[in-house]
Amino acid sequence: MLSVKKSNESGDYKNSNEKLDVLLKADLTQFADIKNEALKLKDFNDESVKKEEIAQAKKEARPKVAAEAKARANKVETYRKQSWYGMDEDPSFTWDDAYNTIVKVLGKEDDTFFYNGRREVFMDDDGRRYYSIWTEDPNAANTADGTIEAYLVNDDGSVEPNN
């Protein structure tokens, strides 16, 4: 038990646990105090090992998260330098392209789609370009009844609801 405690006190919790596992496999019915102490020490070691693993995982994740954030920022900055940025349309991804995509994907009639007064291209946090296109029920008397839905039509051809 002395070498188990020394391993624990030195912070070598895994080694301490290995020794405890051997000890706890033995018949300790006549040594209840030793068994209880060993179980408490094992619980402490397990918790310490878990904390070390979490700390290590966080340490390893920081550079990855920072690199992903930097890559996303670079991508957005690259888009902002494009000639189309802030313009009504990107010549390689026009509002008409987005309109045709949404008609194809949603399978709706052309007259149910309209634009919100601005045909400008937008950009999300990941640097994807999109247009906001709205659709409404052409039979609705007004738009106050919730018949309008907005969709994002991305430059990769995907369509998603704009909630």
Angle at 97 between CA 96 and CA 101, to 5 degrees: 115
Residue ranges per structural domain of the chain: 2-80, 95-161
- The mean predicted confidence, pLDDT, of the chain is 77
Q: Mean pLDDT throughout 79-107?
A: 75
pTM of the model: 0.40
pLDDT in tens, 44-85: 888 988 988 888 888 888 888 888 888 877 877 777 777 666
Q: Is residue 162 within 8 Å of residue 132, measured between CB atoms?
A: yes
Q: Mean pLDDT throughout 123-150?
A: 64
Q: Are strands 149-154 and 122-123 parallel, antiparallel or unpaired?
A: unpaired
Q: Mean pLDDT throughout 118-134?
A: 71
